[in-house]
Amino acid sequence: MTYYYNGFPQSERNEELHMINVDELEEKVKKVIPEGAYYYIASGSENEWTWRNNTAAFNHYQIIPRALTDMDNPKTDTEFMGMKLKTPIMISPIACHGIAHKDAEVATQKGAAAAGALFSSSTYANKSVEDIAAAAPDAPRFFQLYLSKDWKFNEMVFNAIKKAGYKGIFLTVDALVSGYREANLRTNFTYPVPLDFFKRYIGAKGEGQSVAQMYAASAQKIGPEDVKRIKEETGLPVIVKGVMSVEDAYKSIGAGADGIYITNHGGREVDGSPATIDVLPEIAKAVNHRVPIIFDSGVRRGSHVFKALALGADMVGIGRPYLYGLALGGAKGVKSVIDQLDKELLIDMQLTGCKTIDDVKHSKITHINYSSDNLDSITSPDRMKPYPKTADNQIKTDGQTDAVSSASHH
């Protein structure tokens, strides 16, 4: 059940997960992955105000139930940029899935494909784009680009993703430097597993680098001309990821962007920025269906998906929950997380008379203002709980082996 890479434990599980809601996976996953890796996934920047509000702010908006709709058997099938999908829920890109599972992005792609969901992988993925594509050849997938200062590196990436059949690019513009992630500093987190594009380009594995060091290798200066150049060199649609204002939506569309991706990077960059759901309505109104909109950050419920769609999103991404599912159940665990959110979404659709996802996009949402908390970071000494120690989540030292599998570290 556990594999070791240079002493770092990686789950090898592949099983369906049974849950009441996706939030309960967060505590369970601590028994499977090391402390530093857990807090890399789970935490936000600074005091984590934005990280918390991303989820809490969904309560600013309320779904209006509908009666006497004479409707049953709703469907979550949808279409996005010509791709037919079974759900509007999308796998948002996160770096280094190998901290959660030995099969990393390959397993995540298999789980997404089984659920009929759009998958996206990061420039900082452990697995190659070729291996990811081979895991589900017919499944649609996008690529998240951290634009490099080195255009030869960018060109290598472009060639690889085109040959691997990726359908488009999410150009990340909101992480030019790493946010001040206190959890990473407190646990001295560095990437423990090699990153494929760094191996193939310069022979550097990427492992042992901090998040801040990795971001330093990417471009800190990105403008409209970069959007145009990427479109010209790849021939692929480019969606600008990290838009949080109407002005930037206008600028992105003016630069030729094929879509807008509203996100604050899961509360991992600028603490004190608005929750994404609070900026979605204004941006959606300004975009006015000229290009599709993707939305993520803080999604933990089917009702959150419903609200985001009703307020203007075309696709709704999830992040942390699927990584917990990956660690606890591999590809089947990823599918279980998507299925759980779909199950909740279908209930809301039935109770609002929404037969289709298009109906959801035209449903009525109300809005009530309120304020949220301003607690310290979850890794502050006065709040941080002792981390559980299990046979599966401990980093091995030289010469140690896994007592269960007898597998030595690699």
297 known ligand binder: yes
Is residue 320 annotated as involved in ligand binding? yes
Say if residues 310 and 365 touch (Cβ distance below 8 Å).
Answer: yes
Catalytic residue among 101, 265, 304, 409: 265
Taking the CA atoms of residue 129, residue 166, residue 245 and residue 175 in that order, the dihedral angle to the nearest 10 degrees is: 20
Nearest alpha-carbon partner for 260 in 335, 200, 179, 314? 314
Task: Tell me if 94 is assigned to a ligand binding site.
Answer: yes
367 in catalytic set:
no
* CB 241, CB 147: distance < 8 Å: no
For residues 52 and 31, give the distance between their C-alpha atoms in angstroms, rounded to a whole number. Answer: 23
Q: Angle 366-258-268 (CA atoms, 0-180°, nearest 5)?
A: 60
Q: Binding residue per annotation — 93?
A: yes
Q: What are the φ/ψ torsions at residue 18 (nearest 5 degrees)? A: -110, 125
Q: Is 181 annotated as a binding residue?
A: yes
Check: CB of residue 312 under 8 Å from CB of residue 284: yes
Residues in the chain: 410
The angle subtended at Cα 282 by Cα 92 and Cα 343, nearest 5°, is 40
Nearest to 318 by CA among 23, 82, 60, 19: 23
The Cα–Cα gap between 309 and 93 comes to 20
Q: Is 13 annotated as a binding residue?
A: no
The reply to whether 265 sits in an annotated binding site is: yes
The Cα 267–Cα 50 span in angstroms is 5
Q: Judge contact between 309 and 316, C-beta under 8 A.
A: yes
> Has 325 been labeled as part of a binding site?
no
Long-range contacts of 22-27 (CB under 8 A, 24+ apart): 22/300, 22/301, 22/321, 22/324, 22/325, 22/337, 22/340, 22/341, 23/300, 23/321, 25/321, 25/324, 25/325, 25/328, 25/337, 26/320, 26/324
Is 116 marked within a binding site?
no
284 annotated as a binding-site residue: no
298 labelled ligand-binding: yes
Question: Do the annotations mark residue 186 as ligand-binding?
Answer: no
Dist. CA 52–CA 303, nearest whole Å: 17
Rounded alpha-carbon distances, angstroms, from residue 209 to 36, 125, 148, 166: 13, 14, 16, 27
319 assigned ligand-binding residue: yes
The DSSP string of 128-140 is: -HHHHHHHSTTS-
Binding residues: 40, 93-95, 122, 144, 146, 172, 181, 241, 265, 268, 296-300, 319-320
Annotated binding site for FMN: 93-95, 122, 144, 172, 241, 296-300, 319-320
Residues marked active site are found at 265
Binding residues for glyoxylate: 40, 146, 181, 265, 268
